Amino acid sequence: MNSFKFVDLFAGLGGFHYALESIGGECVFVSEIDKNLRDLYQNNHKVSKSIIFGDISECWTKVPDHDVLVAGFPCQPFSKSGKQLGFDDKKRGDCIFYVLNILKRVRPKYFIFENVPNFAKHNKGESWRKVKSALTELGYCVRSTSDSVDDGKSAKHLSPSQYGFPQKRDRFFAIGSQDFLPKDPFPISNNISPKLKKILLTNKDKKKKRDKLIDLEHCIISEQGVKAINLWNKFVDCLPNKHKDLMTTTPMWLEEIDAQYPYVSQTPYQNFLERGLTPAEIEKELNSLPPYAREKVSSFPLWKIKFIDSNREWFSQIKKFIDPDIIQDIRKLDYTYRKFEWNWKSSPSSNIWDHTIQVRPSGIRVSNPSYIPTVVSINANQTPIYGPMGRHLTKRELARAFGFPDKMKLLENSNAGFSALGNAVHVEVAKMVARNLFSYEKRIEEVVNLIPIQNQESIKLSA
């Protein structure tokens, strides 16, 4: 399509807007529940305030005619990091159904959805099957990055790193067309190696005083963060094969190095109940355990049992190599810093500072320095650290990692700004998905033009 109209739902920073506008799109409707993001959207994209609306549940009937609908609907109800309430999430779980209502009422030719990879697996795949079935009933030919799962293969979710962009961020994409789509219509990897250095600030950038997104003062690693990284460096140095020994168990939970609480047939909580401890005694005992072992349930989920089991087995083999003083020093840190994960198996270096590092509630992650790990909706202290420079990335650098232009503004509040980035869609990946989707229209037209005119209508209908 040379020119087309699109609507941007759950718009956030407008990653889809940048992508579609660059290939001929005109935005005719925006829905974003956050007022600050609505104001920022209008400022960045210079669209009329008259087309910007709030909560999708209150404005879905106002969506005008359009050719393409894009929606990065809320991922929290389906994310592994949340409670995974799905459609039962009363605040955000039903948003996708308003999108379906719009598609039913307006019938745009195309749609593009984006979400976390776990959306395809949520509720054993039933959530996506329900949505896909509704889309198919509306007459759309639907394809998603999880379709390969139905063939017994692993899902082919899309990550910017597959196309040479310095961010590893697997995302679920689904597209739909009123015409035929091939089995795998998504862009293939171009095998270009990502280079994180391309998005780092230059000396010229640092002289731009008006750009608040390059403020290096907010990129200093906390004192405890530096201490934790240095302690884990000492821990790794104790291992016979350095970081390679960490590959057998990941994530690594330090608290399991000498733990003895029950976890297979019953939880500590269930054990305390059966022993007849009082509620006060139970609380005291639970507080002496790692946070992940304090659940007041009778049994742990299988994944947690597996992690605890693999950690205890691993520690039984390597504990003799570890300096006890290092273990005690790590235990003085907050629990967040007592979990550790080495994510780059082929790294030539065992020095953590030679990598990208991220401190998350799940622990310290060490990754390939050629790209940043997944940026989620987080606060400023959890943004990626570029080890070779010994600092967190700036908001400008993170925005570049998402393909946003330097002219784009962000929310000035640090946590709100980083949170908005964590929910964004990668501009260039979205653009490639859209281009591929639209290209099939031209191919169908080329095929139809080769058919005798009396048979063209039946060909279009069958497509």
Helix axes 95-106, 126-137, angle to 10 degrees: 10
Which amino acid belongs to residue 336?
A: T
Q: CB 446: neighbour CB atoms within 10 A?
A: 9
- Peptide bond preceding 251: is omega within 30 degrees of 0, i.e. cis? yes
Whether the Cβ atoms of residue 23 and residue 70 lie closer than 8 Å to each other: no
Is 141 among the catalytic positions? no
What is the spatial distance between Cα 177 and Cα 246, in angstroms, rounded to a whole number?
A: 46
Residue type, 52: I
Closest CA to 433 of 157, 210, 231: 157
Pairing of strands 25-31, 52-53: parallel
Nearest to 147 by CA among 181, 119, 174, 114: 174
SS3 209: coil
Which is it for the CA torsion 274, 279, 284, 287, positive or negative?
Answer: positive
Q: Residue 155's Cα: distance from chain center in Å?
A: 15
434 close to 68: Cβ distance less than 8 angstroms = yes
Q: Please, are residues 378 and 417 in contact by the beta-carbon 8 Å criterion?
A: no
d(CA 168, CA 360): 16
Cα 210 to Cα 63, 198, 361, 416: the distances in Å are 37, 21, 33, 20
- Hey, is 187 helix, strand or coil? coil
Q: How far apart are CA 380 and CA 415, in angstroms?
A: 5
Residue found under tokens 């699109």: 6
Residue 98 contacts residue 36 (beta carbons within 8 Å)? no
* Given 27, 75, 95, 219, the catalytic residue: 75
* Three-state DSSP state, 392: strand
Positions annotated as catalytic residues are: 75
